[in-house]
Amino acid sequence: MALTGNAIEHVGTALITGASSGIGAVYADRMAKRGYDLLLVARNRDKLESLVSELRRRTGRLVRILPADLTQSYDLTCVEEALRQDAAISVLINCAGFGSSVPLLEADVTRMEEMIKTNVTALMRLTYAAVPQFVGRKRGTIIQVSSIVAIAPEILNGVYGGTKAFVLALTQSMYHELKDTGIRIQAVLPGGTRTDFFSIAGSPVEQMSEERRQTLMSPEDLVDAALAGLDQGELITIPPLADKSEWEDFERARARMTPHLRNAQPAQRYLAR
């Protein structure tokens, strides 16, 4: 069933990672209101249980939790198995992740490695667990939460930008491979959003200038825009981008260059003179 309208009948189960707060928690609310039961994944059991009580009260949907630290192999395997074994799951929303604004010379490399495990490895493994099931059923939706730093890595920490560029590239490749299978795929590229992201990243909202704070989008507006983009059939949704043609121009420029990337000889400018 398409993810449109305000359906109240049961339409499947949505598994959402990073669901205990911020963007993930808003996705949980919106998907429940669209008729989906929920399987919520996050590290903080207390926050998950509090969210469950509120969601059940407001939406009447079946809400289950799966507390898991996606940087830990056992926990990640448990979530993978849920995707493989639960035939009711028809939507995977990969929200779990964190960022950094710390420059390379000041960054803790162990923290950077943890970021890669969360933003890249876990997302990749969960995607690989879900896709064969969805393809086998000829239906399913995968929403990958990337970031505008995927295309503007100079804005924040380079490792963070690299992890989100991975999410964007994976999404585009998946679309190319799976477009005839009945699977819906979307990457969402948020800009600055009013969540605890900035505190974790090292740049608390409270320390921002008023001008900078005014550019931050609410997580509610972000998710509502992302779901509107999904309903419109977008592969890439960039909620803060007012002029869609700018992204389309970007993609057309990339497409024009692609045929010229395969040549047996180096470009003339690199040849010895």
Q: What share of the chain is helix, strand, coil (3-state, %, to 5)?
A: 55, 15, 35
Angle between helices 45-59 and 22-33 (to 10 degrees): 30
From the candidates 27, 36, 160, 175, give the one annotated as an active-site residue. Answer: 160
Query: CA-to-CA distance for 204 and 199, rounded, in angstroms?
Result: 4
Q: Is the dihedral of CA 56, 195, 40, 185 positive or negative?
A: positive
Residue 27 is among the residues annotated as catalytic for this protein: no
The pairing of beta strand 63-67 with beta strand 89-94: unpaired
E strands of 124-228, at which residues? 140-145, 183-188
Catalytic residues: 160
